Amino acid sequence: MSEQRKAAALISGGLDSMLAAKVIIEQGVHVEGINFFTGFCVEGHTHAIRERDRAKPKRNNSLWVAEQLGIKLHIVDVIEEYKDVLINPKHGYGSNMNPCLDCKIFMVNKAKQWIQENGFDFIITGEVIGQRPMSQRKQTMPIIARESGADDLLLRPLCARNLPETLPEREGWVDRAKLFGFSGRSRKPQMELAQQFGFVDYAQPAGGCCFLTDESYSAKLVDLWQNRGTKDYELDDVMLLKVGRHIRPKSNFKVIVAREEGESRFLEGYKKEFTSLISSSHSGPLALIDGEPTDEDLALAGRIIARYGQGRDAEQVDILVRSQKGLEQTIQVAPFAPEQIAEEWFV
């Protein structure tokens, strides 16, 4: 009896990677999943923050997919290494700050390292030619294979028949005739295959699996880099860009105002890293100050957050300002009227 071959499948939590893994499992290959966590994954943390999202089912789709497929899933933290991909993408950005092609090359490269360390034979992805405008094109498929170093160890079961044979096909580890030749943006072939496999419930992320494809998120990231004067970030920055209203009245600071109770609770956790403001005379949201504000700036920030609290119509509101070191002072401010907060301040 021939040796059972082993494949590592990149599992995003979406339908395509689920199908690709299933196609190879059906051929008798031992498959385990890998999911890379960059910090920007939609599958991540947002559902934990907002109060209104707490009632929604909180499932991580990559874990769910692995469970449906009956395979192990290895979630790999690549937050630090991913910085270089995002900050210096060799192939540039997509329509927003999404470095899709470099990201795919990076992940396949990490998968190559993983299979070498864990004694696996090849890598599977759910890529389909023409499915995505930047990374999944006929021209980019060989670039990903080559620049990741995976070369012909990279098998794309959903579109393999449109591509040259890979090692697993040449060696007979998988039967090319049982792979697919999907191409284009249509989801119909995938949905039909899902039906054949009996998959009725699967995630259909609208904007892909990454916050960097989101226009509003990308604008906040660019603003952060521009105003800090350096293209760098920490995981806390990544998290905070997803939370609250970001209002930048001046280049030296911005105000992050919680939009509801859940966000206020989340921002509470950052009071030792940022100056925080909250109304002490009326109920209202917590806000953090990112930057180096002067006393005058703090008063301006106070007027902004007073506008979002119960004291918005009062003549004067008390604002408790707390420094990172815990020093507290109370300032009195007149809340801004909505029209006094310039539209261009909103990031």
Partner 1 sequence: MSRETLNARRLLCPLPVIRTQDRVKRMAAGEQLEVICTDPGVMQDIPAWCRINGHAVLETKTEDGEYIIVLEVGE
Binding site for partner 1 (CB under 8 A): 35, 37, 41, 43-45, 47-49, 54, 57-60, 62-64, 66-67, 70-77, 239, 269
Instruction: Tell me whether residue 35 or residue 135 sits nearer to partner 1 (CB atom).
Output: 35
Instruction: Tell me whether residue 66 or residue 304 sits nearer to partner 1 (CB atom).
Output: 66
Shortest spacing between CB 45 and partner 1, in angstroms: 3
Shortest spacing between CB 36 and partner 1, in angstroms: 11
CB 86 within 8 A of CB 213: no
- Please state, in angstroms and rounded to a whole number, the distance separating the CA atoms of residues 74 and 32: 8
Instruction: Tell me whether residue 239 or residue 341 sits nearer to partner 1 (CB atom).
Output: 239
- Please state, in angstroms and rounded to a whole number, the distance separating the CA atoms of residues 290 and 287: 10
Shortest spacing between CB 263 and partner 1, in angstroms: 13
Instruction: Tell me whether residue 149 or residue 269 sits nearer to partner 1 (CB atom).
Output: 269
Instruction: Tell me whether residue 62 or residue 275 sits nearer to partner 1 (CB atom).
Output: 62
Shortest spacing between CB 44 and partner 1, in angstroms: 6
Shortest spacing between CB 43 and partner 1, in angstroms: 7
Instruction: Tell me whether residue 56 or residue 325 sits nearer to partner 1 (CB atom).
Output: 56
Shortest spacing between CB 205 and partner 1, in angstroms: 16
Instruction: Tell me whether residue 64 or residue 336 sits nearer to partner 1 (CB atom).
Output: 64
Shortest spacing between CB 20 and partner 1, in angstroms: 18
